[in-house]
Each structure stands twice: as C-alpha cells, then as structure tokens.
Amino acid sequence: MSQIVIAAVERYMNDLIPERDPVLREMEEYAEQNNIPIVGPAVGRLLFQLALALQARRVFEMGSAIGYSTIWLARAVTDDGIVYYTDGDPDNLARAEAYCRRAGVYNRVTFLLGNALELIDQVEGQFDIVFNDVDKYQYPQVFYKTAARVRQGGLLIADNVLWSGRVAGEEQDHWTEAIRQFNRLIYEAPDFFTTIVPLRDGISLSLKLYS
C-alpha cells in the first residue's frame, strides 16, 4: 500500500485488475519477497495503456530492475518497436533478460548495463516515451538530461512522484527534496503539460507540447 489512496479504495481498485500471465505474476512475487520496488500491476497497466495510445515505437526506460515495467511497455510498442532497458546492476539485467525471453518480448528490448543518465547519450534520436524510475535523488538530473529527448506529442513519465506522501510533508531529506524539485520542473517547463496521477505512489505524465 502506498498510503496515497485510502487503503480500502486502493484494495478495491487492485481487486478490479485482471489476473496477470504467469511470468508477470512470478515477477510480482519475486519482487515482493526480495524487496525489489517494481511499479506493480496498476501502474504497469497504465504504462501499457499509454504506450498503446501513443502507438509508441521507441521507449527509453531509466531504472528497469528485473524488467517488470519493461515487459508491460514492450508488450505495447508497435511490432517494429524497441524498449531500451537500463539498470546499473548486472544481476538485475541477467534476471530481466530471462524474464523478457519467457514473456516473449526479448526481441523488442535492448538491454543496457550502467548509469541510465550516461547510457541515454549512446542512443540516438528522440523517444515516444521516457520512463523515469531511477533512484530518486537523480530525478532533477533526469529531467535536464531527457527533456529534449522526448518527441513532440510524446511523454516523460516518472514513478514515485508523491513518495508515500512525503513530498507534501516536512521531510527535507535528499530524495524527497529531489522529487519535489523534479515535480516543480515538470510543471513549470513551458514545453511540457504535466499531470500527477495519484495512483499507487504517484505517477507523473508530462506531455511534450513542442520540441
């Protein structure tokens, strides 16, 4: 539970979500048992829905862990589409490769190991979607690094932008402050139109208005 939405309402919404396929279910269980913070099915479905709506062909993911959000996105991109997976942990990457193979999306994913903020420089062109889910202290840097890489009409999406409600409290730790700064940046940028959806831990959707 994220503590953003009233627990009973969150449970109600989660109960509406249809059962996932065995690979995603296994990943959800593995993530829970090993304290890996994945987006979960509610946000996974939103990512899937947005990628479908945009007919996304090029997606760059910042912080992909075991590849759970990667699979949701890869299942939604066009037939010739590609999702760039990034993570700094080689064990995560190996696990993500195995899951993506079993989920039938391996050919739509390019696996990149290292710092997503540097790896994005190795990939040319603009993206239909940039999905930001790296460690939170890096969020402002992610904005500066990726804003110009989202195509007009594309989306910069970020997870955890309400950070269990801490963004609205008195906390002044590095991670909370960085998320607050990121949220100000995406709302104030004239070339983006942003909405925070208070789903799970808060997810920001920033539509690129012009390049």
C-alpha dihedral sign at 7, 207, 150, 55: positive
What burial class does residue 190 get, using C-beta atoms within 10 Å of its C-beta: 0-12 exposed, 13-18 middle, 19+ buried?
A: exposed
Residue type, 3: Q
Contacting ligand SAM (CB under 6 A), which of 46, 51, 58, 69? 69
For residues 206 and 186, the answer to whether their CB atoms sit within 8 Å is yes
Between 15 and 44, how does the x/- string for binding to ligand SAM read (CB under 6 A)? ----------------------xxx-----
CA distance 204 to 51: 15
Contacting ligand SAM (CB under 6 A), which of 132, 138, 176, 183? 138
Contact between 165 and ligand SAM by CB under 6 A: the answer reads no
Contacting ligand SAM (CB under 6 A), which of 42, 98, 117, 123? 117
Size of residue set near ligand SAM by CB under 6 A:
20
Contact between 96 and ligand SAM by CB under 6 A: the answer reads no
For residues 182 and 139, the answer to whether their CB atoms sit within 8 Å is yes
Closest CB to ligand SAM among 49 and 211?
49
Task: Give 197's strand partners.
Answer: 203
Contact between 177 and ligand SAM by CB under 6 A: the answer reads no
Closest CB to ligand SAM among 5 and 74?
74
- Closest separation in Å from C-beta 154 to ligand SAM: 18
Cα–Cα distance list, 92 to 12, 66, 67, 128, 131 (Å): 32, 5, 8, 25, 17
Contact between 158 and ligand SAM by CB under 6 A: the answer reads no
Name which of 147, 171, 169, 186 is nearest 62 in CA terms. 147
Closest CB to ligand SAM among 90 and 198?
90
Contacting ligand SAM (CB under 6 A), which of 89, 171, 177, 191? 89
Binding segment (CB under 6 A) for ligand SAM, from list 16-24, 52-60, 131-139, 196-204: 131-139
Name which of 111, 106, 148 is nearest 130 in CA terms. 148
C-alpha dihedral sign at 197, 67, 25, 2: negative
Contact between 98 and ligand SAM by CB under 6 A: the answer reads no
Which residues contribute to the site for ligand SAM (CB under 6 A)? 37-39, 63-65, 68-69, 86-89, 92, 115-117, 133-135, 138
